[in-house]
Amino acid sequence: MSSMRAPSSSSPGGQPSRPLLQIEGMSKGFPGVQALDDVRLDLYPGEVHALVGENGAGKSTLMKILSGIYERDSGTMLLDGSEITVDGPLAAQRLGISIIHQELHLMPDLTVAENIFIGRETRRGLGLFVDDRALNRRTEELFEDLRIHLDPRALVGNLKVAQQQLVEIAKALSFNARVLIMDEPTAALTEQETEILFGLIRDFKARNTGIIYISHRMEELKAISDRITVLRDGTYVDTLDTEEAEVGQVISLMVGRHIEGETRPTTVADDPTPVLEVKGLSTRSLLRDVSFELRRGEILGFAGLMGAGRTEVARAICGADRITSGEMFVNGELVSIKAPSDAAKLRIGYLSEDRKRFGLMLDQDVKFNIVISSLGEFTNRFGFVRDGAASEVSEQYVRSMKIKTPSIRKSAKNLSGGNQQKIVVAKWLLRDCDILIFDEPTRGIDVGAKEEIYELLTDLATAGKSIMMISSELPEVLRLSHRIVVMSEGRVTGVLDNAEADQETLMSYATHIDSAGSLA
Amino acid sequence: MTAPEKTVTPETGTESAPSRTGVLREKLQQFLAFASLIALVIFFSLANPNFMSWSNVSGILLSTAVIGILALGTTFVIISGGIDLSLGTGMTLAAVTTGTFLSVMGLPLVVGVVGGILTGALMGLVNGFNIAVLKIPPFIATLAMMLIAQGLALVISGAAPIYFSGVEGFNLIALGRSVPFLALPNGVFILFGMAAIAAVLLSKSIIGRYTFAMGSNEEATSISGINVRRWKMTVYTLSGAFTGVAGVVLASRLNSAQPALGLGYELEAIAAVVIGGTSLAGGKGSIVGTLIGALIMSVLTNGLRIMSIPQEWQTVVVGIVILIAVYADNLRRSKEQ
């Protein structure tokens, strides 16, 4: 398909030229996580160097350091052999480092031309005024060069996402950068548009621009990259020549061989009755024809990459997002869920990945948080809360779920992440929920407490609750789920029994490749 | 368009400009505001023929001047995604400064006027610093400044009005009729002059561009390499300078600096901006809209007064109008999503 040749030997003599960019020993920590640990990467002129890894592997962090958005803790960056410091986006621009961000960083109320040349406007009148005519002309020239067909005067907020992506790309390219970073640039593009982008990338290669290309799509890496560097958990794993690399090999480097799910649940719970059936669920933005069933006493894992649509499925089921088509059955009955309160009536509880924002009232005490959703049951006929009864029930849950708190009067914010999670669960259990949707139940929870959460989920399932568990950590999915739904780009790409699943298979489905092809 | 001789077909690139609908929608909002203004004018002139008399029209325009100038400055702040509650008392402090310079210290007229304007600008700069550098939310930062300015105005003036009776020509700034052929007080021309300056700054200048950019998506603006701190401070300083001008105009019109007057003007100014179609969420708005909004406010007050509706009820009506305007803003925004 592509006519790509020779990776690092792009210079005429076949001898590798001096690296354009060299990153050594790069480390960056955030409170609670070491996002990058001693990572290295080199980039040659005219090279497309792919950077891959699972969610949280550190790709975006590395690129944000390179483009001056984050500050590194340690490590060196050499551009053309001389050390550089990138302290801010402006510094990156001056050094000729340009980035296409994964999330769009555009100003919707400005026009296309204004967005592209923001900070670099053609000025007139003592530099006080913007020469919009010149700006539009420059944009037209740029678009002609890049073969993009967009009106420079259009408001960005009125464009489709793919068009906005093109604006973002054009903006990055307009710097005539020597190092061009693309963070999942094709996420919103159609195949045709992707082909155009690849054409542009080849043009830039020919001009000796070095390109760092981040993508989850293995086919793309084969088509466009010269070398592939794999990161995992913030560390450097390996760098491969694309020509010699096998997709399966790359994927196993990405997921690693660690913790090959020691304890796995015995396959499917005995009772195959579906508690929740979802058929052909679609939403306006992302989901397309999502179908699956959740059985009694089952933990159904949801695997996929970021943006695959897992959280969106949960939100749609809970009535937080509107669905455009599809049907849902709870205990065999067709239901219509239009708002979160409908879901609660059907005994569906959603535990958000962002506990602190959506799950808990941090400043309130444990008791308050447990009973808040069921206050009606603890109110006398004059509308006053029966404090004694509320305390009693809260004490019960603290005991039965082993919530570690000195008293039910303690503020939720003083508890560990694991115990906070338990409070949220208690809240939903008190409402008699039969279906519990956990979105990243162990995010931000330290390793020890994770075990407790795993135990909790397993106990809940054993007690007959049905659980949907969304998780980006494959070992976690494999360890807990009876069955696993894998999603990619808003669609279900596979439903597997635990016995037939392993990390490589899941990753293949998540990256949209059937496992047979990838291992060939 | 010249055909590129490359291999990739240029066919995809998603044609056409959907900009027009957006522009139309924005124009519609302005048109609606303008239509309401006309409707109000027609209604009041039918209700009372005196409404359209030259002296009343001239009075309406003059009474728009102060609120209008305040609203012009704060349009920038609101489009940038902020809010300024210190306009009203800030204007008072500027007036008191001018009064002190001219009546108490006997400095030349120009010094008094420039001093008043700079007082406003300085307050804006401090607001901007507190918001952009100290990261105090705009609402709180300017609420504090509102109190500080109110207190300072009372302290400096000794809580008594400062009269400009001894300052020759001061009251001509707002009330004189220096423009030939058009029998309108200077205050009106100052308003339209400031509006012209504001309109050019907002739509053509670099300040205006970054004002929209910040209100549209502050993070993206920052990542694009724009010094958001500096431009935020600039926007608040600019708004402060407008506050200063309003202070001078008000003092001239009353021929005195009233230290107890001013509180509440900020809300009327913000109301004018919102009625004019500027989004409180930032990123959208126009000077023409603000001007229309300010006119609606003063036509309403004047018309109700001319119809002998008691002062108390006038306030209620203005409150209702603000609710309607903000609700319209919400509708517009939810439609966009």
Length of chain A: 520
Domain ranges of chain A: 32-255, 272-347+434-520, 358-432
Superfamily of domain A272-347+434-520: P-loop containing nucleotide triphosphate hydrolases (3.40.50.300)
Residue B221 belongs to some domain of the structure: yes
pLDDT digits (tens, 9 = 90+) for B299-333: 998 999 888 888 888 889 888 887 887 787 677 66
Q: Say which DSSP state A452 is in.
A: H
Q: Do residues A233 and A57 touch, judged by C-beta distance below 8 A?
A: yes
Using a CB-CB distance cutoff of 8 angstroms, which residues of chain B are in contact with residue A100? none
Residue B20 belongs to some domain of the structure: no
- Under the banding of pLDDT at 50, 70 and 90, the label for residue B336 is low
Token output for A295:
């059985």
Which chain A residue lies closest to B23 (C-alpha atoms)? A155
Beta bridge partners of A211: A48, A180
A32-255: CATH number: 3.40.50.300
Interface membership of A196 toward B (CB under 8 Å): yes
Which chain B residue lies closest to A152 (C-alpha atoms)? B17
Tell me whether residues B336 and A150 touch, CB distance under 8 A: no
Neighbours of A384 (CB within 10 A): 9
Domains A32-255 and A272-347+434-520 share a fold: yes
pLDDT digits (tens, 9 = 90+) for A378-399: 888 887 888 888 899 999 999 8
Residues in Cβ contact with A99 at an 8 Å cutoff, skipping those fewer than 6 apart: A63, A66, A67, A92, A172, A180, A181, A182, A183
Q: Looking at residues A348-367, what average pLDDT do you find?
A: 82
- Under the banding of pLDDT at 50, 70 and 90, the label for residue A414 is confident
Which residues 136-155 of A are in CB contact (within 8 Å) with B? 144, 147-151, 153-155
Q: Looking at residues A93-105, what average pLDDT do you find?
A: 84
Q: Pick the residue of B20, B201, B224 with the most A CBs within 10 A to test the interface with A by mutation.
A: B224
**B278 min Cα distance to partner chain A (Å):** 12
Domain that holds residue B300: 34-336
Which range scores top for mean pLDDT: A64-68, A430-434, B255-259? Answer: B255-259
Compute the distance between CA of residue A394 and CA of residue A373 in angstroms, rounded to an integer: 13
Neighbours of B327 (CB within 10 A): 10
Longest dimension (CA), chain B: 82
Using a CB-CB distance cutoff of 8 angstroms, which residues of chain A are in contact with residue B22? 155, 157-158
Query: Does position A296 have pLDDT exceeding 60, yes or no?
Result: yes
A271: three-class secondary structure by DSSP? coil
Domain count, chain B: 1
Token output for A385:
């809360």
Interface membership of A106 toward B (CB under 8 Å): yes
Residue B22 belongs to some domain of the structure: no
Query: Does position B44 have pLDDT exceeding 60, yes or no?
Result: yes
Residue B26 belongs to some domain of the structure: no
Q: Do residues B194 and B202 touch, judged by C-beta distance below 8 A?
A: no
- Under the banding of pLDDT at 50, 70 and 90, the label for residue A7 is very low
- Under the banding of pLDDT at 50, 70 and 90, the label for residue A173 is confident
- Under the banding of pLDDT at 50, 70 and 90, the label for residue A141 is very high
Interface membership of A284 toward B (CB under 8 Å): no
The rounded percent of chain A whose pLDDT value lies above 90 is: 32
Tell me whether residues B22 and A196 touch, CB distance under 8 A: no
In chain B, what are the helix, strand and coil shares in percent, each to the nearest 5?
75, 0, 25
Mean of all residue pLDDT scores within chain A: 84
Residue B18 belongs to some domain of the structure: no
User: What are the backbone dihedrals phi and psi of residue B162, each rounded to the nearest 5 degrees, phi first?
Assistant: -105, 120
pLDDT digits (tens, 9 = 90+) for B173-223: 988 888 777 889 999 999 999 999 999 999 989 999 999 999 999 988 988
Angle of helix A387-400 relative to helix A417-430, nearest 10 degrees? Answer: 120
- E strand or H helix that includes residue B290: helix B287-306
Q: Say which DSSP state A121 is in.
A: -
- Tell me which residue in A110, A118, A153 faces B17 most closely, judged by beta carbons: A153
Using alpha carbons only, give the angle A445, A451, A453 rounded to the nearest 5 degrees: 65
For residue B24, what pLDDT is reported? Answer: 57
Q: Do residues B73 and B237 touch, judged by C-beta distance below 8 A?
A: no
Interface membership of A16 toward B (CB under 8 Å): no
Query: Does position B146 have pLDDT exceeding 60, yes or no?
Result: yes
Using a CB-CB distance cutoff of 8 angstroms, which residues of chain B are in contact with residue A202? none
Compute the distance between CA of residue A241 and CA of residue A372 in angstroms, rounded to an integer: 57
Fill in the amino acid letter for B169.
Answer: G
Q: Do residues B283 and A109 touch, judged by C-beta distance below 8 A?
A: yes
Q: Do residues A241 and A494 touch, judged by C-beta distance below 8 A?
A: no
Residues in Cβ contact with A457 at an 8 Å cutoff, skipping those fewer than 6 apart: A299, A438, A441, A467, A469, A480
- Tell me which residue in B11, B19, B226 faces A119 most closely, judged by beta carbons: B226
Q: Pick the residue of A93, A110, A135 with the most B CBs within 10 A to test the interface with B by mutation.
A: A110
Tell me whether residues B19 and A154 touch, CB distance under 8 A: yes
Which residues 477-516 of A are in CB contact (within 8 Å) with B? none
Which chain B residue lies closest to A91 (C-alpha atoms)? B225
For residue A136, what pLDDT is reported? Answer: 94
